[in-house]
Structure 1
Amino acid sequence: MRPSVEAERAAVRRARLRIAVFTSAIITLLVAVVGGVAGTVMTHAQHEQVWRELRYDAARGGLSSPSGCTWLYAPGVTPLTYAPAGFPLRADLERVRRTHEAAERTVRRDGTVYLVRTQIRVDGTLVQAVFDMRFQLADRRHLWYALGVAEVVGLIAAAAAGAVLGRLAVSPLAEALARQRRFVTDASHELRTPVTQVYTRAQLLSRQAAAQELPAQHRDGLSRLVGSAGRLGEVLDDLLLSASLAAGPARPPERRPVDLLALARSVVEEEADRTRDGGLTVVVDGPPPPLLVDGIESALRRAVGELLSNAIRHTPAGGRIEVALARAGGAVELTVTDTGPGFDAAEASRLFERFHSGGSSGRYGLGLALLREVITHHGGTVAAAGRPGRGARFTVRLPESGAPSAPVLARRVRAVRT
């Protein structure tokens, strides 16, 4: 799986998961709120109804034939044989007899709840009515159990609905990402040939202008045209390489052991004219060759070339660039250090964003973002460090090909200067 494609797919999966979770949470919350409100309303209504019936029985109910689940206690009346124990409440009877004010209370005992009302009837009879709530409590338990089952079923249905909605909602995003990759690849391929032709013709015109001794302003204009066409070609190469790393060609290039030290020296030699014109000193230093890593040589060459090109762009005339290689814990480290303006430490992680520009770092373009893609594709890491006015240091770390188990003692070899 290519890193960029995997990152995009991970982003799509996260978006689907968020939509599913949010949808499930909303539906579940709605079911819980509706169920809670329904249960609360039902419990309150049931409670009020029982108290109404109890007050009626206490005031007018037949002493020998009360309503179901109700017992009436009065002087001279024998309670039914199945009446609950502990009644009547003598304290309430004495208080009502003394104050002539009705008293109500709730008593919990024997695993149930009793509602008790004590009052003096119109005919002067002192009556205590007791209502057993056990059946109402059972109904409430059944209701809450049913609401709990409905909540679980609603959660399952919400999860399924969220998954479906997430897939339907994110599918256009996934398709857009795939189309974007195809567009970048197709556009880069289509533009590569005409840009190469423009670059070649611009170089030819520039040579002819120099040979025919045209005015300086014309020669300078052609030189700038050559440079602009060359940079445009580099951007297209970056886009093509990025697209190939993301999606991969029909037959991915086979990875082979690449001598990173020899590759770095070759890249430095290729940039010899630029470093000479800029008055720069470039030093390559490393352990005895070969220094092998498994990878695609063209991609690694592009990555090392971007590091060196970046250092050349940001190093003033008379500056120094050091390219150092070393073995470290089964990996190969390539470090490019320059004496340029550097950058703030806070910008280090943002330098690898596409076309990042800011502060003392200046504009770094597409190259460093592509560099990170290449290195990540090869199972490595890249890091940047720098301070304003103190230069910059970029470190690439790649797994060594066939790394030995014992530490290898590195000794310095002849430096290559340009």
Structure 2
Amino acid sequence: MTSSAFTDRAAVRRARLRIGVLTGVIITLLVTVVGGVADTVMTRAQSDQVWRELRYGAARGDLSSPPVCTWLFARGSTPLANAPAGFPVNTDMDRVRRTHEAVERTVRRDGTQYLVRTQVRGDGRVVQAVFDMRFQLADRRHLWFALGVAEVVGLLAAAATGVVLGRLAVSPLAEALTRQRRFVTDASHELRTPVTQVYTRAQLLSRQAVAQGMPAPHREGLTRLVGSVGRLGEVLDDLLLSASLAAGPARPSEHRAVDLMALTRSVVAQEADRARDGRLTVAVDGPPHPLFVDGVESALRRAVGELLANAIGHTPAGGRIEVTLTRAGGTVTLAVADTGNGFDPAESERLFERFHRGGGGGRYGLGLALLREVVTHHGGTVAATGRPGHGARFVIRLPLGGPRAAAVPPPRSRVPRIGTRRAKAGRT
């Protein structure tokens, strides 16, 4: 899968996941808020009711027959047989005798909670009322258990809802991306033939202008026209290659064992004229034996050519470009280093974005973005390092392959390429 296709599909998956997560968070918050409100209301209502009953029992309750879950203690009275251990709280009773002020407290004991009120009755007796909260606490636990079940059900519902909403909401996005790629492919194919015809006609007119001795401005204009149409053809080639990579893995018949060492030397030889015109030194260093990788030769040639063209376009006259190939374990490394104008290290990753304009004012383009698509398509990685005024270094790493006895060469393109790759005005 290519980096662009992977990015698109990853964006769709992230959108679906985000919808599911947001739905789950909303349901969780709703259940939590409802549970918190319900618990607060229940706790307050229960406490108010129990304290009212407890105060009434302490003031007027029958010591021998108190209300349910309530026990009354007083000096000289016999507690009920089922009275909880540890009561009465004698310190509270002594305090009330001294101060004649009621005392209320909460006591936690034996895995439950007791509300205790001690006061002086109208007849002067000090009475302590104790209420067992175990049933109220059980109601609260049941409430939270029910809310927990509701939370689990809510999360399951959120997951199902998120999947459904994600598909309904994100499907148009996925479809739009598919249509966009199909449009780019169709438009590139449809434009390829007329652009080829225009390029051929422009070349013919340029030769006729030279042969017929037309004025220099006319000849220069035709030369610029040929160059412009050639660059347009290169953009169409880039779009077609990008679209074919985005369509998925190449057919088995298109894959073969490619000698990256021989391919690199071939590309360097093709760019020799441009290097001489720019008074550049291009050195190739690598092992004497082949370095095989598995892939599509035309695409790999395009990637290596892009790296070399990029280096030539950014290296001033008298500069040097070093192309190095090495093997380490199961990886083949291709490095292209130049003594050009370099770039800001902060731009190292953005250089591979489509239509990115670098800090040096380079034009928009697809070159390095397409390079990364090709490398990623072959299971490799590409990275760039550099500093302003100190050159740049691009490194491609590809899995090591091997020669195949029955390798099938890739099919030739039905439409010839227009022109040759020219130097870029910016690292794009």
Q: TM-score, normalised on structure 1?
A: 0.88
- Give distance in 2, aligned partners of 1:9 and 1:152: 30
| Alpha-carbon distance change, 303 to 101 in structure 1, aligned in 2, over 3 angstroms | same
- Give distance in 2, aligned partners of 1:369 and 1:255: 22
| Alpha-carbon distance change, 88 to 394 in structure 1, aligned in 2, over 3 angstroms | closer
AA aligned opposite 2:375: I
Query: Which residue number in structure 2 is paired with residue 346 of structure 1?
Result: 346
- Give distance in 2, aligned partners of 1:142 and 1:324: 72
* Cα shift readout 1:290-327 (whole Å, capped 9, x = no counterpart): 33322211111111221122122222234333333333
1:357 partner SS: coil
| Alpha-carbon distance change, 388 to 90 in structure 1, aligned in 2, over 3 angstroms | closer
- Give distance in 2, aligned partners of 1:333 and 1:117: 84
| Alpha-carbon distance change, 185 to 51 in structure 1, aligned in 2, over 3 angstroms | same
- Give distance in 1, aligned partners of 2:53 and 2:87: 19
Query: Which residue number in structure 2 is paired with residue 243 of structure 1?
Result: 243
List gaps (5 residues or longer) in structure 2.
Answer: 404-428
Shifted more, 336-345 versus 320-329: the winner is 320-329
- Give distance in 2, aligned partners of 1:163 and 1:345: 41
AA aligned opposite 1:134: R
**1:17-416 correspondence to structure 2 within 5 Å:** 17-75=17-75, 77-248=77-248, 251=251, 253-360=253-360, 362-363=362-363, 365-402=365-402
* Cα shift readout 1:91-113 (whole Å, capped 9, x = no counterpart): 33332223222222222333332
- Give distance in 2, aligned partners of 1:401 and 1:108: 74
Deviation at 1:200, TM superposition (A): 1.3
Shifted more, 390-399 versus 35-44: the winner is 390-399
Query: Which residue number in structure 1 is paired with residue 419 of structure 2?
Result: none
C-alpha contact (below 8 Å) 1:88/1:128 kept by paired residues: yes
Shifted more, 47-56 versus 13-22: the winner is 13-22
Query: Which residue number in structure 1 is paired with residue 414 of structure 2?
Result: none
* Cα shift readout 1:175-229 (whole Å, capped 9, x = no counterpart): 1211111111111111111111121111111111111121211111111111111
| Alpha-carbon distance change, 288 to 279 in structure 1, aligned in 2, over 3 angstroms | same
Query: Which residue number in structure 2 is paired with residue 13 of structure 1?
Result: 13
C-alpha contact (below 8 Å) 1:344/1:387 kept by paired residues: yes
1:54 partner SS: helix
- Give distance in 1, aligned partners of 2:95 and 2:249: 95
2:284 partner SS: strand
| Alpha-carbon distance change, 252 to 4 in structure 1, aligned in 2, over 3 angstroms | farther
- Give distance in 1, aligned partners of 2:86 and 2:260: 95
Q: TM-score, normalised on structure 2?
A: 0.86
Deviation at 1:358, TM superposition (A): 1.9
C-alpha contact (below 8 Å) 1:294/1:401 kept by paired residues: yes
- Give distance in 2, aligned partners of 1:184 and 1:202: 25
- Give distance in 1, aligned partners of 2:134 and 2:39: 17
Query: Which residue number in structure 2 is paired with residue 406 of structure 1?
Result: none
| Alpha-carbon distance change, 190 to 61 in structure 1, aligned in 2, over 3 angstroms | same
Deviation at 1:264, TM superposition (A): 2.4
C-alpha contact (below 8 Å) 1:341/1:360 kept by paired residues: no
| Alpha-carbon distance change, 292 to 92 in structure 1, aligned in 2, over 3 angstroms | closer
Give the % identical residues: 79
C-alpha contact (below 8 Å) 1:54/1:129 kept by paired residues: yes
Moved over 6 A (4+): none
1:317 partner SS: coil
- Give distance in 1, aligned partners of 2:328 and 2:86: 86
| Alpha-carbon distance change, 132 to 191 in structure 1, aligned in 2, over 3 angstroms | same
Shifted more, 245-254 versus 377-386: the winner is 245-254
C-alpha contact (below 8 Å) 2:2/2:376 kept by paired residues: no
Deviation at 1:249, TM superposition (A): 8.3
- Give distance in 1, aligned partners of 2:321 and 2:100: 105
Deviation at 1:230, TM superposition (A): 0.5
| Alpha-carbon distance change, 357 to 252 in structure 1, aligned in 2, over 3 angstroms | farther
- Give distance in 2, aligned partners of 1:162 and 1:295: 40
C-alpha contact (below 8 Å) 2:2/2:373 kept by paired residues: no
| Alpha-carbon distance change, 90 to 371 in structure 1, aligned in 2, over 3 angstroms | closer
List gaps (5 residues or longer) in structure 1.
Answer: 404-418
- Give distance in 2, aligned partners of 1:291 and 1:61: 100
